[in-house]
Amino acid sequence: MEAEVSMEDIKVYMIANLQIHDINIYRQYEKGFFQILKRHSGEFITYDDNVVHVEGDNKMEGRVILFSFPSKRHAEAWYADEDYQALSEHRRAATTSTITRISGLPERK
């Protein structure tokens, strides 16, 4: 009998949408971001500064960033990390942003 996969163990994806107002301050955020992401087993997937809006009323503008974590627990630990929270003050000062977490699907057997 196979064990059921808990939703706690499902990969999660983070979608960040940023409108950058001060590139110099934002670059301070970028410099520290990847080290903290890796500390929490995060994986950078891609970013795009030229997002194409296809449909709907909530158009994303500016930079869209996609990254993932092996689980919700990893994502929550990353966001709560004191080093990340200190670093994120640069992002907050330099951008208007939203960060959204979505859950992946369990692997099909």
Q: What is the pLDDT of residues 25-81, one digit of tens each?
A: 999 999 999 999 999 999 999 999 999 999 999 999 999 999 999 999 999 999 999
Residue 108, in any domain of the structure: no
Over the chain, what HEC string results? CCCCCCHHHCCEEEEEEEEECCHHHHHHHHHHHHHHHHHCCCEEEEEECCCCCCCCCCCCCCEEEEEEECCHHHHHHHHHCHHHHHHHHHHHHHEEEEEEEEECCCCCC
Task: Tell me whether residue 109 is in a domain.
Answer: no
Cα-flanking dihedrals φ and ψ of residue 45, to 5°? -105, -55
pLDDT at position 107:
78
Binned at pLDDT 50, 70 and 90, residue 1 comes out as: very low
Residue 42 lies inside a defined structural domain of this protein: yes
Asked if pLDDT for residue 3 goes beyond 70, the answer is no
Q: How confident is the model at residue 9 (pLDDT cuts 50, 70, 90)?
A: confident
pLDDT of 28 reads: 97
* 2 within some domain: no
pLDDT > 90? residue 100: yes
Q: Give residue 77's domain range.
A: 11-52+63-103
Q: How many domains does the chain have?
A: 1
Average pLDDT over residues 79-88: 98
Does 92 fall in a domain? yes
Q: Does residue 95 fall inside a structural domain?
A: yes
CATH number (domain holding residue 69)? 3.30.70.100
Is 39 inside any structural domain?
Answer: yes
pTM for the complete prediction?
A: 0.88
